[in-house]
Amino acid sequence: MTNWLLLRGLTRDQRHWGNFHDELAARLGVEVVTIDPPGFGTQNGRVSPRSISGITDDLRGRFDRGDDSWSLLGISLGGMLAMNWVHRYPEDFERCVVVNTGAPAVFRPHQMQFGLMSLIAGKRFRSLDAHEAAALKLTSNRPPEQLAELSTTWAQYQREAAPLDASVLAQVAAAATFRLPTRIPVPLLVLASKGDRLADHHMSERIAARFDAPLRLHPDAGHDLTLDDGPWVCDQITNWLAHAK
């Protein structure tokens, strides 16, 4: 059995996985670990690199693989990092799963979502609690009463380990300049949500087609698919592994 490393998305750190890593570990019966990207969480005193490759190399330098075999899952920006990592260092991971990710190469202007830009632009004019409430309203399709409690927790994360503005802008620049790899040399599974209001699910469809990878679509979850329906994600991975050659 292979263990799993999880990579979070734009401006988020490992605390934002909630209990998903425990769900996946229990379902697969393996070790599931998380890591903070440079500039966020335990790394918030540093400035993030401005490229996906630079962030990937920083993560790789801090990740202790030991003698175990590993697979990789990334959501959103974490999906970009995951594809870059397995393309450049295919010996590091046996398999890769990307969730609600994208890239400029598969973006179409008519599918532009303005929510992220307005969220980032308005951050300095809101309280932390209001900002996190706005972020969750954009990225999750959970009922409002659930998001209210969660936004309070996530605002506290910001108070405990606020990232530098330079790191937020660096991650945005990294995502905007990311180039899809020419190939993914390990088995790839693409997961996406039709209810994603941040990254249009058609980008995931194009990524799956480009790399001839299986695609699974959730009917109504939001961008933060592991938050909205972690058991569904676990089901897709379990089924994928069960049918692996």
pLDDT tens for the 245 residues of the chain, in order: 899 999 999 999 999 999 999 999 999 999 999 999 999 999 999 999 999 999 999 999 999 988 899 999 999 999 999 999 999 999 999 999 999 999 988 976 545 455 565 666 556 656 888 889 988 999 999 999 999 999 999 999 999 999 999 999 999 999 999 999 999 999 999 999 999 998 899 999 999 999 999 999 999 999 999 999 999 999 999 999 999 86
Q: Which one, of 19, 5, 136, 15, lies nearest residue 72 by Cα?
A: 5
Taken as a whole, the chain contains a residue count of: 245
Name the pTM for this structure: 0.94
Write down the pLDDT at residue 129.
86
Cα(191)–Cα(225) distance, rounded to whole angstroms?
9
Pairing of strands 96-99, 188-193: parallel
Phi/psi at 129 (5° precision): -65, -40
Give the chain's mean pLDDT.
92
Write down the pLDDT at residue 87.
98
Cα(48)–Cα(58) distance, rounded to whole angstroms?
9
Burial class (CB in 10 A: 0-12, 13-18, 19+), 29: exposed
Contact assessment for residue 118 and residue 136, using Cβ atoms and an 8 Å cutoff: no
Contact assessment for residue 239 and residue 32, using Cβ atoms and an 8 Å cutoff: no
Write down the pLDDT at residue 110.
47
Ordered structural domains, the chain, with CATH: 3-242 (3.40.50.1820)
Cα(86)–Cα(105) distance, rounded to whole angstroms?
18
Q: What pLDDT digit, counting tens, does each position of 156-207 carry? A: 999 999 999 999 999 999 999 999 999 999 999 999 999 999 889 999 999 9
